[in-house]
Amino acid sequence: MNNGFAEASGAPWPPPLANGKAPLPKGKAPPPPKRGGRGPPKAAPPMPKNPSKGGGAGMSELLRRVEATGQKKDREEAKAIEDVDLSKIDPNATRPRVKCPRCELQVLVSDYESHMSSHSSEIMLWLFLGGIRNAENDKELTLRTGITHILNLASECNLWGDVRVAVEKYQAEQGLSFTYKKYPFGDTADQDILNDLPEAIEFIHNAHLSNDRHHVLVHCVQGISRSASVVIAYLIKYEGMTLRDAHAHTLKCRPIAMPRKEFVDQLGRFECAVLGCAEPSFTGEQAFEGKVMLSLDAGLPVAQKWTRSVSDLAKHSGTLVRTNTPGIVSRVLVAIWRGVQSMIPSCVPPAPVQDNNELVVEAAPATEQRPKS
């Protein structure tokens, strides 16, 4: 029959496939694929017809949702501009500013106090209290304040060599010299400042006594605790102030100054010895009355509270909440400070110099240079 069909139609039998292979005889299965073969390709999974429905993924879907949320908030929360009186709005109005007497920049009135604290503070006409940033600014040291003597009270700070050269050159042109001295105090509760305090304030006194053109900068890292304590001690001994008055005067000239409680108590003993009083006029307890302080002395600090009850904290804005265990804020602050110490060479504590088993004053080497950025 098949042959008859082939003869009648003239077509070969069985008909060949497109690839030239004949069909398999009936009853036989196709051979299995060779080992290692890929087999027939798998069909791709169907794409969703509308990705915006059913929580489709991808950046386009995320952007669509953000846009939709914004449009919804505009519809529900935006106020009609027709309801706002714009007639009294001055398009040229600016926030009030004032000229800084030190650097002559125009500073927002609201930022003036903070800006002035970035400069060294004038305690007396010739005596300045500041931080390391002021001791690293040669323009601040020369043209603005005419510093001839620097007293550094921070163990982790040194004087840059290029700053020393610039100040020495400037003062030489004025017919003056430049003197630098350092006492490596630490800002910790166990730091005893009384041993070196008489010599430190004598350095300030001799600088002023030798020439009324001499200007002295006393600094630590921020000009808050260590250097402020030494300035207060100077005012007690050489200006005849009580500790209470010297503390108040220093904070009036530099609002961010706040010697730590332990330093204030040591200054109280210093006041009694110098002025011959039976009791100090001011104590560390009184200095921190009503304040909540965060101690960074330990590796995992705990917030410390002075005198006032927790219920009174609502009256004081910007205070920290008291905790009995180290909180995440304390951990973060310690981590940030340690990171700053590791990144900034000037914050790396230098090795103390020993002489006859006594800690001596260490001057920064004149060859020390700023790291290149």
Active site residues: 220
Check residue 208 and report its DSSP letter: H
**Cα atoms in the 13 Å half-sphere on the side-chain side of 341:** 11
User: How many Cα atoms sit within 13 Å of 106 on the Cβ side?
Assistant: 4
* Radius of gyration, alpha carbons of the chain: 39
* 3-class state of residue 243 by DSSP: helix
**Nearest one of 295, 296, 298, 304 to 324, comparing CA atoms:** 304
| Strand intervals (E) in 49-103 | 97-99
345 cis-preceded (ω within 30 degrees of 0): no
Q: Assess contact for 293 and 189: CB atoms under 8 A.
A: no
Cβ pair 28, 19 in contact under 8 A: no
Q: How far apart are CA 67 and CA 73, in angstroms?
A: 10
Q: Which neighbouring-strand residues pair with 106?
A: 99
Q: Is the peptide bond before 14 cis (omega within 30 degrees of 0)?
A: yes
Contacts of 55 (CB under 8 A, 6+ apart): 61
Which residues are CB-contacts of 295 (< 8 A; sequence separation ≥ 6)?
301, 302, 303, 304
Residues in CB range of 96: below 8 A, 6 or more apart: 108, 109
What token pair was written down for 280? 């100090």
| Residues in CB range of 274: below 8 A, 6 or more apart | 236, 237
Residue 237 three-state SS = helix
Helix axes 261-275, 226-238, angle to 10 degrees: 10
End-to-end CA distance of the chain: 96
Give the C-alpha separation, 282 to 259, whole Å: 12
